[in-house]
Amino acid sequence: MSDDQAERPSSADRGFDFKTRLDDREERGLRRDLTPIESVRERSRYAEDPGADQPVFGKQPEMVVFGSNNYLGLATDERVQRAAGDAAHSIGTGAGASRLVTGDTPVHRALERDLAEAKGTERALVFSSGYAANVGTITALDPDVVFSDAYNHASIIDGCRLSDAETVVYDHCDATALSEAMADRAPKSSDESWLVVTDSVFSMDGDVAPLSAVCDAAERYGAWVMVDEAHATGVFEDGGGIVQREGLTERVDVQLGTLSKALAAQGGFVAASEPVVEHLSNVARSFVFSTGLSPPAAGAARTALSIARNGSRRTQLWDNVERLRTGLESLGLDVMGTTHILPVVVGDRSEAVELATHLTEAGIIAPAIRPPTVPDGQSRIRLAPMATHTERDIEQCVTAFERAEGKR
């Protein structure tokens, strides 16, 4: 060992003692491990976390997956896969550069035109992820004040932080609280730009924001409204989201979404007026300084959007949602929400983890959601049925809950 190596302080001496940090997370019940999945479909095999090595699936039985955001089951649809392959063959596997350099391709433009049509806006812009879309859009809009729902997604929270805007958090899904917060600030802030930001469907509770009332409050005080439709795009009327279902397209200034859930690809998007999108394409740093969305992802998302708008997958999804909700409630379980996300409330963190273990033993993958993702005392099993689940799959899930409840 050289003298330099001998004198160099350890990583712990400089505050990078990651073993201690991980041990602390373990003690608080926050440590998580990666669980490799063999394929993204209704049934798949899982493997233990292999660290840096390849996962080994071995002879594990297939599990029925109820923890996926692949709501319409399109990730393994042959039409979507073929569209991804066609884009890779004709354009390339990667965009090659930022969209503002040489990464803007026909498949990006075609997808954006289709998204704008589905969302009823003049134009759309795709980002490399939904997270990048939120962070880039909020910072580029550069509001003085952001009014944010208490349960908004982490990407919205981080966008607010990075924007340097003053952030006012209002009570979850409470338009009255939003209006009161605006009224309290109005007398001293006549020149400020205000932005109201909310998810439409909340991913942990499965509930829906009162968008009409939110728009009422925003219009009363001259604020803009931005709605993240990540968990709604593709599963409601004409493949749109809650904004379209409620007829609020003209009242919502900025619509966001993701291509990685119901649209079974990767990426995010913003749909808005021509001036807004043109501004974002020049100013949103997560767009300007990032390689464009990969052509295969853009091609896959475009075909998935077409299927969502024109096929029967949405009907199949909602039939499965109703079938699963009815089965769970017949067991006396508390099922939250009004959407395709079905959280089964357990309460205690350890009991939720125990229930998830029992479900796994019965062949059902449905993760336990616990603090800090949800508040203390509200741990739950988050179920997300897919359009491609069979009646047998739904019955197996309900039976697994019935047996698991008997073991608790």
| One-character DSSP codes across 296-307 | HHHHHHHHHHHH
Residue 234 lies in a domain: yes
DSSP state, residue 288: H
Q: What CATH number did the domain enclosing 402 receive?
A: 3.90.1150.10
What's the pLDDT tens digit per position in 72-120?
Answer: 999 999 999 999 999 999 999 999 999 999 999 999 999 999 999 999 9
Structure tokens at 18: 């990651």
Structure tokens at 309: 């708008």
Residue 17 lies in a domain: no
What's the pLDDT tens digit per position in 154-180?
Answer: 999 999 999 999 999 999 999 999 999
Judge if 339 and 304 occupy the same domain: no
Residues 6 or more apart from 343 whose CB is under 8 A from it?
204, 205, 206, 335, 336, 337, 369, 380, 381, 382, 383
- Determine the Cα–Cα distance for residues 76 and 78; give it in Å rounded to an integer: 6
Residue 2 lies in a domain: no
Domain end, chosen from 257, 279, 310, is at: 310
Residue 16 lies in a domain: no
Domain end, chosen from 288, 310, 332, is at: 310
Q: Alpha helix (H) ranges present in 38-129?
A: 78-90, 106-119
Q: Which of 108, 153, 231, 340 is catalytic?
A: 231
Q: What is the pLDDT of residue 172?
A: 97
Q: Which domain holds residue 266?
A: 78-310
- Determine the Cα–Cα distance for residues 405 and 399; give it in Å rounded to an integer: 10
261 an active-site residue?
Answer: yes
Q: Which of 261, 286, 290, 389 is catalytic?
A: 261
Residue 87 lies in a domain: yes
389 an active-site residue?
Answer: no
- Determine the Cα–Cα distance for residues 301 and 281; give it in Å rounded to an integer: 20
11 has a pLDDT exceeding 60: no
231 an active-site residue?
Answer: yes
- Determine the Cα–Cα distance for residues 313 and 41; give it in Å rounded to an integer: 15
Name the pTM for this structure: 0.93
Overall domain count for the chain: 2
Residue 285 lies in a domain: yes
Q: Which of 129, 203, 260, 294 is catalytic?
A: 203
Domain end, chosen from 310, 325, 346, is at: 310
